[in-house]
């Protein structure tokens, strides 16, 4: 016989704390101190239905994995659970109005457009989680801005009637040289989560990288793939290597074609926009004296398992447990690319984690421009596949990266925004727009296939130094009190 709402409601304190998730009750009393997101957030739902809060930031197999079966209390008769009437805030009302007046999908002509729409229609907290970056968000913005410092030296009078921009990444043939890179918590943007991206990737024949911190479970995302669709796996390495081993070997057995070890996140970043938004949302009922942990954004809450001790010494162990190609994601200087090659890994992603980790880290594209001449001098340019992510918004950005020597680029947030605003059709249109731009711009640069892209087609003098284009110091400017000239006397 199912539990009643009333029974559950009695366990509403840290002494005895039950919560309902997807129609089932769980006793989390003992788990409270271990919860990575903190005790407080669970206690808010003690004795109540926590599904809506739980859903986007926990894969569905979370409770099975982390909560002992003895604490699974079974079904609840949801008819008996008191439904909390949600009062629609004025902000939410305005958001619903904006949703009602959303521009049509066909009005989105480029990837920025999806971001503009998503900013308007997403929940503020979800937007803040996706869009925020580290500290002053200098690197966040530099990532795209860096592409604007690279100019073209196009060839003319080349036969470009037929343009083929398909290529190969880690042995997989793809339609266009980008992949969907790993981004966390897809259900914040769309109730279905990452599988939406899987389906769109299949349509356009591009690779999806599955994130460790997905809202969907790993298997759900694999299951959403069809035919010979290829997926890669992004991995945050767990302090407990036996868990890591299980995850890696499971992925390989499921058919994953690449293991991307994240190496730029020994600790997940402080993102003040995210932190500030959460505080604002929590609103006035938080007493200023309380020692809340709300200074920790969602990312920190869900990532405490990550091993800050991961080091070069661990690489051979990974090579011993899997035959998947191993790629280091988050390499940021040429010295480490060389070391990666010497370690025998198959690839690196020049990346700063989308500007979410170390502020003032340089853009991946700038690091690429530093890396390739050194590799070419050694004759090592083909010993490894080099990917770049961060700030890619236009096909010209992709072309620039490939001219400089990248094998392909990762694109993350733009697809999240397209998904959050328009669901799968949005993601598909975003990908189609990139293909349209790609065909056009391959022609205009005078190349009919990917292998013709080369460094003489770009002028990178503006990139090779940070002589200009430091993104605006918004906080600094907002607190600076500019000098003024003499004031007139007041009007009488």
Please give the size of the binding site for a second copy, defined by CB under 8 A: 122
Burial level of 284, CB count in 10 A (0-12/13-18/19+)? exposed
Residue 431 CB, nearest approach to a second copy (Å): 15
DSSP string for 302-350: T-TTB-TT--GGGHHHHHHH--S-EEEEEE-SHHHHHHHHHHT-SEEEE
Q: Could you tell me which stretch among 39-47, 60-68, 222-230, 439-447 binds a second copy (CB under 8 A)?
A: 439-447
Residue 75 or 335 having the CB closest to a second copy = 335
Contact residue for a second copy among 157, 253, 320, 377 (CB under 8 A): 157
Q: Using the rule CB under 8 A, is 320 a contact of a second copy? A: no
Candidates 44, 267, 376, 451; binder of a second copy (CB under 8 A) is 267
Active site residue 353: yes
Site string for a second copy, 232-261 (x = CB under 8 A): ------------------------------
Q: Cβ(387)–Cβ(412) under 8 Å?
A: no
Question: Applying CB under 8 A, does 80 fall inside the site for a second copy?
Answer: no
- Give 400's contacts (C-beta < 8 A, 6+ positions apart): 147, 150, 152, 365, 458
Out of 44, 102, 317, 378, name the contact with a second copy by CB under 8 A: 102
At a CB cut-off of 8 Å and minimum separation 6, what does 335 contact?
Answer: none
* Phi, psi angles (nearest 5°) of residue 385: -95, 130
Residue number with CB closer to a second copy (336 or 385): 336
Instruction: State the angle between helix axes of 395-404 and 364-378 in degrees (0 to 180), rounded to the nearest 10.
Output: 30
Q: How far apart are CA 332 and CA 488, in angstroms?
A: 54
Q: Rank residues 86 and 491 by Cβ distance to a second copy and give the closer one.
A: 491
- The whole-angstrom separation of Cα 185 and Cα 195 is 12
Structure tokens at 45: 């739902």
- Rule CB under 8 A: choose which of 123, 374, 443, 455 binds a second copy: 443
Q: Report the distance separating Cα 280 and Cα 136, nearest Å.
A: 19
Selected from 49, 115, 220, 389, the binder of a second copy by CB under 8 A is: 115
236 an active-site residue? Answer: yes
Q: Residue from 38, 103, 325, 373 that binds a second copy (CB under 8 A)? A: 103
Options 33-41, 58-66, 382-390, 466-474: segment touching a second copy (CB under 8 A): 466-474
Q: Which CB, 253 or 485, lies closer to a second copy?
A: 485
CA angle 299, 39, 61 (to 5 degrees): 60
| 264 among known catalytic residues | yes
Q: Which of 13, 16, 295, 454 binds a second copy (CB under 8 A)?
A: 295
Which residues in 344-373 contact a second copy (CB under 8 A)? 357-362
Residue 389 touching a second copy (CB under 8 A): no
Q: How far apart are CA 215 and CA 195, in angstroms?
A: 10
Residue 436 engages a second copy in binding (rule: CB under 8 A): yes
Q: Which of 45, 129, 179, 236 is catalytic?
A: 236
Which of 184/265 has CB closer to a second copy? 265
- Closest approach, Cβ 373 to a second copy, in A, equals 16
Q: Which two tokens stand for residue 210?
A: 């599955």
Q: Which of 447, 454, 363, 443 is nearest to 410 (CA)?
A: 363
Under the criterion CB under 8 A, does residue 93 sit at the interface with a second copy?
Answer: no
Applying CB under 8 A, does 125 fall inside the site for a second copy?
Answer: no
Q: Which of 27, 49, 113, 264 is catalytic?
A: 264
Smallest gap from Cβ 390 to a second copy, in A, equals 13
Angle at 161 between CA 159 and CA 165, to 5 degrees: 100
Which one is catalytic: 11, 58, 204, 353? 353
Taking CB under 8 A as the rule, does residue 63 contact a second copy?
Answer: no
Q: Which residues pair with 27 in a beta bridge?
A: 18
**Residue 420: exposure state from Cβ atoms within 10 A (0-12, 13-18, ≥19):** buried
Given the rule CB under 8 A, which of 13-21, 63-71, 223-231, 268-276 is the region that contacts a second copy? 268-276
- Which residue from 106, 178, 202, 181 is spatially nearest to 438, judged by alpha carbons? 178
Instruction: For residues 140 and 272, give the distance between their C-alpha atoms in angstroms, rounded to a whole number.
Output: 13
Nearer to a second copy, 194 or 359 (CB): 359
Closest CB 320 distance from a second copy, rounded Å:
17
Residues with catalytic function: 236, 264, 353
């Amino acid at each position: 016989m199912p539990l009643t709402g009333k029974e559950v409601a009695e366990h509403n304190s840290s002494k005895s704390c039950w919560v309902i998730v997807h129609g089932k009750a769980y006793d989390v009393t003992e788990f409270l101190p271990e919860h990575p997101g903190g005790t407080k957030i669970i206690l808010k739902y003690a004795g109540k239905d926590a599904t809506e809060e739980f859903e986007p930031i926990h894969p569905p197999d979370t409770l099975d994995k982390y909560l002992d079966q003895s604490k699974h209390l079974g079904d609840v008769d949801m008819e008996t659970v008191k439904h909390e009437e949600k009062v629609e805030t004025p902000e939410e009302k305005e958001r619903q109005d904006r949703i009602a007046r959303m521009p049509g999908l066909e009005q989105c002509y480029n990837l920025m457009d999806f971001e503009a729409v998503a900013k308007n229609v997403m929940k503020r907290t979800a937007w803040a989680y996706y869009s925020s970056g580290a500290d002053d968000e200098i690197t966040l913005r530099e990532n795209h801005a860096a592409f604007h410092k690279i100019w073209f030296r196009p060839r003319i009078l080349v036969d470009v009637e037929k343009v083929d921009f398909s290529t190969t990444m880690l042995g997989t043939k793809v339609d266009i040289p980008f992949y969907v890179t790993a981004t966390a918590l897809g259900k914040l943007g769309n109730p279905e989560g990452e599988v939406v991206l899987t389906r769109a990737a299949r349509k356009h024949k591009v690779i999806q990288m599955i994130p460790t911190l997905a809202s969907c479970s790993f298997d759900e995302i694999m299951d959403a793939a069809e035919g010979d669709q290829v997926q890669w796996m992004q991995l945050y390495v767990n302090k407990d290597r036996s868990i890591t081993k299980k995850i890696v070997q499971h992925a390989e057995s499921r058919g994953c074609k690449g293991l991307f070890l994240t190496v730029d996140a020994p600790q997940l970043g402080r993102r003040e926009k995210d932190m500030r938004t959460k505080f604002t949302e929590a609103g006035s009922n938080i007493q200023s004296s309380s020692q809340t942990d709300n200074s920790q954004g969602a990312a920190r809450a869900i990532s405490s398992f990550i091993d800050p001790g991961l080091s070069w010494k661990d690489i051979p162990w990974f090579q011993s447990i899997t035959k998947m190609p191993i790629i280091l994601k988050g390499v940021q200087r040429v010295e480490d690319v060389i070391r990666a090659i010497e370690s025998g890994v198959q690839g690196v992603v020049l990346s700063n984690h989308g500007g979410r980790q170390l502020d003032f880290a340089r853009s991946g594209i700038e690091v690429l421009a530093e890396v390739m001449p050194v590799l070419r001098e050694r004759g090592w340019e083909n010993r490894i596949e080099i990917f770049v992510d961060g700030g890619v918004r236009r096909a010209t950005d992709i072309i620039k990266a490939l001219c400089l020597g990248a094998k392909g680029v990762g694109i993350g947030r733009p697809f999240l925004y397209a998904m959050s605003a328009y669901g799968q059709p949005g993601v598909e249109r975003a990908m189609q727009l990139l293909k349209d731009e790609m065909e056009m711009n391959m022609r205009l640069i005078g190349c009919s296939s990917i292998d013709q892209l080369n460094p003489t087609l770009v002028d990178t003098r503006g990139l090779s130094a940070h002589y200009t284009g430091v993104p605006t110091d918004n906080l600094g400017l907002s607190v600076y009190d500019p000098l003024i000239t003499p004031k007139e006397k007041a009007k009488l």
